[in-house]
């Protein structure tokens, strides 16, 4: 059976406002984690953001929280291989995963974080959803399938978020949405709804906030 991947609907005003208030409240950097035993206690729901280096993960977390440099502040060189935890009040964790797909990192470094990522995705009981960020100009690439397959195997539901849509011309989005929908047919863990975003222009941010606030 073919699954359709429609766009996530615009949230209704009331739920969008509740989500806005949640994200306008305190958001704090908790820690950068380099090994499974460094994870904070699994005492609340969490969502993670995965994607290639430079796809816009940190910018998206900043846009969601309305803090210009929250995520970047923890992204000092040398910490980029860490799993960065942010606390959304005391309700949930937002988790910025290390970017993948950079060819220049030494093999041992890549192997180490791949193992950490695999253990994290398979072993975090409070992980409600992974957001897989895909650059709207590029669509889903082979390296994205690798992490999506990992999510399938770990039975972590994931939702695709297209980023940087402000960089696209008016007619360019439709074919990308079609390509993404086609590629997602291969992934049983794919949540059948796409979110279209621009951290720069704010597009889709209220929708994504509402999705996260609605997970319990
Ligand atoms: N035009 C545009 N640029 C963006 C957007 N999101 C991120 N960027 C840029 O893309 C680059 C990488 O973003 P960053 O958030 O650091 O990516 P990360 O490596 O996935 O954390 C930066 O130069 C950002 O300014 C967006 O929505 N629109
Ligand atoms: Mg980043």
CA dist., res. 154 & res. 101, Å (int): 20
Predicted local distance difference test score (pLDDT) of residue 79: 47
Which ligand minimizes its atom distance to the CA of 133?
1
Sketch out the chain's domains with CATH numbers: 13-213 (3.40.50.300)
CA dist., res. 127 & res. 125, Å (int): 6
In sequence order, the 6+-apart residues with CB closer than 8 A to the CB of 3 are 184, 185, 190, 192
Mutate to test the pocket of ligand 1, among 32, 50, 53, 54 (most ligand atoms within 8 A of CB): 54
**Cβ < 6 Å from ligand 1: which residues?**
51, 53-59, 99, 163-164, 166-167, 198-200
Span from the CA of 56 to the centroid of ligand 2 (angstroms) = 7
Average pLDDT over residues 100-112: 75
Residue range 64-89, pLDDT digits in tens: 999 988 886 555 544 467 899 999 99
Cα–Cα–Cα angle for 83, 86, 88, nearest 5°? 150
Predicted local distance difference test score (pLDDT) of residue 40: 97
* 104: DSSP letter: T
Predicted local distance difference test score (pLDDT) of residue 73: 52
* 98: DSSP letter: P
Which ligand minimizes its atom distance to the CA of 54?
1
Span from the CA of 1 to the centroid of ligand 1 (angstroms) = 36
Mutate to test the pocket of ligand 1, among 53, 59, 135 (most ligand atoms within 8 A of CB): 59
Q: Is the pLDDT of residue 1 over 80?
A: no
Q: How confident is the model at residue 200 (pLDDT cuts 50, 70, 90)?
A: very high
């Amino acid at each position: 059976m073919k699954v359709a991947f429609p766009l996530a609907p615009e949230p209704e005003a009331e739920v969008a406002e509740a989500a806005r208030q949640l994200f306008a409240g305190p958001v704090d950097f908790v820690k950068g984690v380099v090994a499974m035993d460094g994870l904070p206690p699994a005492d609340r729901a969490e969502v993670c953001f995965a994607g290639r280096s430079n796809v816009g993960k940190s910018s998206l977390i900043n846009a969601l929280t309305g803090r210009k440099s929250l995520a970047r502040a923890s992204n000092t060189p040398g910490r980029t291989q860490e799993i960065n935890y942010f606390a959304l009040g005391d309700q949930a964790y937002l988790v910025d995963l290390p970017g993948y797909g950079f060819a220049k990192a030494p093999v041992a470094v890549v192997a180490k974080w791949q193992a950490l990522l695999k253990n994290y995705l398979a072993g975090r009981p409070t992980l409600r959803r992974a957001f897989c960020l895909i650059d709207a100009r590029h669509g889903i690439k082979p390296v994205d399938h690798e992490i999506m397959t990992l999510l399938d195997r770990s039975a972590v539901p994931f939702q695709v978020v297209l980023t940087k849509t402000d960089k696209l011309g008016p007619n360019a989005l439709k074919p990308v949405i079609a390509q993404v929908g086609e590629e997602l047919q291969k992934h049983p863990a794919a949540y059948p709804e796409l979110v279209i975003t621009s951290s720069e222009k704010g597009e889709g941010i209220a929708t994504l906030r509402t999705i996260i606030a609605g997970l319990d």
